[in-house]
Amino acid sequence: MRIYFCGSIRGGRQDLAIYQRIVQKLQTFGKVLTEHVSHSDISEKGEDAALKGDKEIHDRDVEWLVTADVIVAEVTQPSLGVGYELGRAVAMHKKILCLFRPSSGRVLSAMIRGADSGSQSSLFKVQDYTEDEVERVLQDYFSGLSTNTDTQ
Protein backbone atom coordinates (compact mmCIF):
# COMPACT_ATOMS: atom_id res chain seq x y z
CA MET A 1 0.00 0.00 0.00
CA ARG A 2 1.24 3.48 -0.89
CA ILE A 3 0.44 6.08 1.77
CA TYR A 4 0.65 9.85 1.32
CA PHE A 5 1.06 11.64 4.66
CA CYS A 6 0.18 15.34 4.90
CA GLY A 7 1.42 17.57 7.70
CA SER A 8 2.34 21.20 8.03
CA ILE A 9 5.81 22.29 6.94
CA ARG A 10 5.77 25.99 6.07
CA GLY A 11 2.60 26.50 8.14
CA GLY A 12 4.53 25.58 11.30
CA ARG A 13 6.44 22.62 12.67
CA GLN A 14 4.87 22.58 16.16
CA ASP A 15 3.47 19.06 15.65
CA LEU A 16 6.69 17.42 14.44
CA ALA A 17 6.79 14.88 17.30
CA ILE A 18 3.28 13.62 16.51
CA TYR A 19 4.12 13.51 12.78
CA GLN A 20 7.03 11.24 13.62
CA ARG A 21 4.77 8.89 15.58
CA ILE A 22 2.18 8.86 12.80
CA VAL A 23 4.73 8.12 10.07
CA GLN A 24 6.31 5.37 12.15
CA LYS A 25 2.92 3.70 12.56
CA LEU A 26 1.98 4.25 8.91
CA GLN A 27 5.16 2.44 7.85
CA THR A 28 3.70 -0.74 9.36
CA PHE A 29 0.88 -0.56 6.76
CA GLY A 30 2.90 0.25 3.65
CA LYS A 31 5.28 2.66 1.97
CA VAL A 32 4.96 6.25 3.19
CA LEU A 33 5.69 8.34 0.10
CA THR A 34 6.10 11.55 2.12
CA GLU A 35 7.96 10.37 5.20
CA HIS A 36 10.19 13.46 4.88
CA VAL A 37 7.34 15.51 6.42
CA SER A 38 8.32 13.91 9.75
CA HIS A 39 12.04 14.68 9.43
CA SER A 40 13.37 17.06 12.06
CA ASP A 41 15.86 18.64 9.66
CA ILE A 42 13.06 20.29 7.66
CA SER A 43 12.24 23.71 9.06
CA GLU A 44 9.30 26.04 8.43
CA LYS A 45 11.25 27.30 5.42
CA GLY A 46 10.63 23.93 3.79
CA GLU A 47 12.78 21.58 1.80
CA ASP A 48 13.32 23.66 -1.33
CA ALA A 49 17.04 24.12 -0.65
CA ALA A 50 17.53 20.43 -1.40
CA LEU A 51 15.48 20.59 -4.59
CA LYS A 52 15.16 22.92 -7.55
CA GLY A 53 12.41 24.95 -5.92
CA ASP A 54 8.70 25.13 -5.34
CA LYS A 55 7.67 23.91 -8.81
CA GLU A 56 9.64 20.67 -8.42
CA ILE A 57 8.19 20.09 -4.93
CA HIS A 58 4.65 20.67 -6.25
CA ASP A 59 5.06 18.39 -9.26
CA ARG A 60 6.69 15.60 -7.25
CA ASP A 61 4.03 15.74 -4.55
CA VAL A 62 1.14 15.73 -7.04
CA GLU A 63 2.72 12.70 -8.72
CA TRP A 64 2.86 10.98 -5.34
CA LEU A 65 -0.79 11.89 -4.69
CA VAL A 66 -1.76 10.29 -8.00
CA THR A 67 0.01 7.03 -7.11
CA ALA A 68 -1.13 6.90 -3.45
CA ASP A 69 -3.71 4.37 -2.30
CA VAL A 70 -4.66 6.36 0.80
CA ILE A 71 -4.05 9.84 2.19
CA VAL A 72 -3.52 10.48 5.91
CA ALA A 73 -3.43 14.13 6.99
CA GLU A 74 -2.72 15.56 10.41
CA VAL A 75 -4.80 18.74 10.23
CA THR A 76 -4.46 20.23 13.72
CA GLN A 77 -1.84 22.79 12.59
CA PRO A 78 -3.48 24.84 9.84
CA SER A 79 -1.58 24.62 6.54
CA LEU A 80 -2.41 25.94 3.09
CA GLY A 81 -0.36 23.14 1.54
CA VAL A 82 -2.24 20.40 3.41
CA GLY A 83 -5.56 21.96 2.40
CA TYR A 84 -4.42 22.02 -1.22
CA GLU A 85 -3.28 18.39 -1.07
CA LEU A 86 -6.61 17.34 0.42
CA GLY A 87 -8.56 19.19 -2.26
CA ARG A 88 -6.55 17.50 -4.98
CA ALA A 89 -6.98 14.10 -3.30
CA VAL A 90 -10.76 14.57 -3.09
CA ALA A 91 -10.85 15.40 -6.81
CA MET A 92 -8.92 12.16 -7.44
CA HIS A 93 -11.47 10.14 -5.38
CA LYS A 94 -8.79 8.98 -2.92
CA LYS A 95 -9.43 7.43 0.50
CA ILE A 96 -8.63 10.16 3.03
CA LEU A 97 -8.23 10.15 6.83
CA CYS A 98 -7.86 13.53 8.54
CA LEU A 99 -6.62 13.51 12.13
CA PHE A 100 -7.45 16.41 14.47
CA ARG A 101 -6.62 17.04 18.14
CA PRO A 102 -9.37 19.11 19.82
CA SER A 103 -7.06 19.54 22.84
CA SER A 104 -5.08 22.02 20.71
CA GLY A 105 -7.77 24.63 21.40
CA ARG A 106 -8.19 25.17 17.66
CA VAL A 107 -11.40 24.69 15.69
CA LEU A 108 -11.09 22.55 12.57
CA SER A 109 -12.07 24.22 9.30
CA ALA A 110 -15.66 23.53 8.27
CA MET A 111 -14.34 22.69 4.80
CA ILE A 112 -12.44 19.74 6.29
CA ARG A 113 -14.88 18.61 8.98
CA GLY A 114 -17.84 19.09 6.65
CA ALA A 115 -16.31 16.90 3.93
CA ASP A 116 -16.90 13.83 6.13
CA SER A 117 -20.43 12.66 5.36
CA GLY A 118 -20.45 10.44 8.44
CA SER A 119 -21.29 7.33 6.45
CA GLN A 120 -19.21 4.18 6.73
CA SER A 121 -18.63 4.15 2.97
CA SER A 122 -17.36 7.74 2.81
CA LEU A 123 -13.93 8.14 1.22
CA PHE A 124 -13.27 11.19 3.44
CA LYS A 125 -13.03 10.61 7.20
CA VAL A 126 -12.25 13.05 10.00
CA GLN A 127 -11.15 11.54 13.28
CA ASP A 128 -10.66 13.51 16.48
CA TYR A 129 -7.97 11.97 18.67
CA THR A 130 -5.59 12.50 21.58
CA GLU A 131 -1.86 11.96 21.30
CA ASP A 132 -2.15 8.87 23.52
CA GLU A 133 -4.49 7.14 21.09
CA VAL A 134 -3.00 8.05 17.68
CA GLU A 135 -1.53 4.59 16.99
CA ARG A 136 -4.82 2.88 17.88
CA VAL A 137 -6.80 5.29 15.67
CA LEU A 138 -4.51 4.48 12.73
CA GLN A 139 -4.69 0.74 13.46
CA ASP A 140 -8.49 0.86 13.50
CA TYR A 141 -8.66 2.85 10.25
CA PHE A 142 -6.28 0.60 8.34
CA SER A 143 -7.90 -2.56 9.73
CA GLY A 144 -11.19 -1.21 8.38
CA LEU A 145 -9.60 -0.62 4.98
CA SER A 146 -8.44 -4.24 4.87
CA THR A 147 -11.90 -5.47 5.80
CA ASN A 148 -13.58 -3.27 3.18
CA THR A 149 -11.11 -4.43 0.52
CA ASP A 150 -11.68 -8.08 1.45
CA THR A 151 -15.47 -7.77 1.05
CA GLN A 152 -15.43 -5.97 -2.30
The answer on whether 141 is annotated among ligand-binding residues is no
- In sequence order, the β-bridge partners of residue 43 are 46
**Annotated binding-site residue? 88:** no
Q: How far apart are alpha carbons 99 and 144 in whole angstroms?
A: 16
Task: Judge contact between 140 and 129, C-beta under 8 A.
Answer: no
Spatial separation of the C-alpha atoms in residues 145 and 10, rounded to whole Å: 31
| 146 labeled binding residue | no
Q: Confirm whether residue 119 is marked as ligand binding.
A: no
Residue 53 has, within 13 A of its CA and on its CB side, a CA count of: 1
Q: Is residue 109 a known part of a binding site?
A: yes
Tell me if 9 is assigned to a ligand binding site: yes
Say if residue 135 carries a ligand binding annotation. no
How big is the chain by its Cα radius of gyration, in Å?
Answer: 15
Say whether 13 counts as a known binding-site residue: no
49 is in an annotated binding site: no
Half-sphere exposure of 113 (CA within 13 A, CB side): 10
110 is in an annotated binding site: yes
Annotated binding site: 4-10, 19, 85, 109-111
Annotated binding site for substrate: 4-10, 19, 85, 109-111
